[in-house]
Structure 1
Amino acid sequence: MLTGTTTHEDEPRPGPAPVAAEAREQFVSSPRGARLARRHAVRWMEEWGHPPASDVSCTVALVVGELAANAVRHGRVPGHGFGLRLTLDEPAGLVRVEVADAAAAKRPPASAPPSCPGGESGRGLLLVEALAVRWGSAPRRPVGKTVWAEVATKAPTHL
């Protein structure tokens, strides 16, 4: 007879952590749409276990804010909004942010320094480049482009 050991076959057992989570939404191409995209990203990150005040959630919010603002300012096409897609890949330790708009890219976005050192704009992609593991853009079919960035969910383990 075994003592001190109890098994509960009828109790639910925790399953493996989800490999990936995805959320997507369309927004009106306006400053309000860009703000809503950022709020949605923070909410999704919280649902995925990253509280709003966490480093990763704040970083994702900043990246979404910059890419959404660029979509509104530079990618706006009358009658079209922009799309936001976040994908969490816990095993890889990454959140992929994708912002898609209807404007065709004349050239890939660049993180060039602002033309005026005292100017109030022109630094968004510099921030994205500094915060993201990697970023880039791709044409969208049938029209438009997607600008994406990958953000680390864990701090680097090397010193």
Structure 2
Amino acid sequence: MTSNNDGPTGTTQHTCASPYLNSRIFTLRFTSTARGARLARRLVAVRLDEWGVPYGTEAHETVVLVAAELAANAVRHGHVPGRDFQLLLRVTDEARPVARIEVSDTRAERVPPRPGRLPEPELLEGGRGLLLVEALADRWGWCPRLRAPGKTVWAECALA
């Protein structure tokens, strides 16, 4: 796990423009391993609870599950040896709060299908992580990273 995003390789990149200005942000880089994905999930759970989205609520469980699936996908499908993945969690401070999860990896040639274009579950060769994300998130998508190789997969979940 690495923290601090001050260097050229660690700078938080908001390549998928988020419309939310008033928000709390947590971002951290994790090793591209199963252990890194588990730690990302746990830290998202802790941060949500600290920000007033308590453990055991539907909103908390949904955001944590979506974050876990995106982190697992970054490890499974976006892994490049020696490169970390980055997770960003943003929770808005608006009347109808939204949690936005962004997971960036460094593998540009393997991209997910666009939202709404996922194959039927019985046609999938691998897991069903993006089917869960599509079912649970209010919106999701992906975009290429602009200042580094790779892609960012993001999802938004209403917290109300």
TM-score (normalizing by structure 1): 0.78
- Any stretches of 5+ residues in structure 2 without a counterpart? 1-21
Residue of structure 2 in register with 1:81 after alignment: 84
Q: Using the aligned pairs only, state the percent identity.
A: 50
Within the candidate set 75, 98, 103, 2:102 is matched to 98
Moved more, 43-52 or 84-93: 84-93
Q: 1:90 corresponds to which letter in structure 2?
A: D
Residue of structure 2 in register with 1:65 after alignment: 68
Residue of structure 2 in register with 1:125 after alignment: 130
Deviation at 1:24, TM superposition (A): 0.5
| CA deviations over 1:96-115 (Å, ceiling 9, x no partner) | 00000000044443532345
3-state SS, counterpart of residue 148 of structure 1: strand
Deviation at 1:39, TM superposition (A): 0.2
| RMSD after superposition | 2.0
Deviation at 1:54, TM superposition (A): 1.2
8 Å contact from structure 1 (residues 22, 88) kept in 2: yes
Which structure is larger by alpha-carbon Rg, 1 or 2? 1
After superposition, the Cα gap between the structure-2 partners of 1:107 and 1:70, relative to the gap in structure 1 and judged at 3 Å, is closer
TM-score (normalizing by structure 2): 0.78
After superposition, the Cα gap between the structure-2 partners of 1:143 and 1:34, relative to the gap in structure 1 and judged at 3 Å, is same
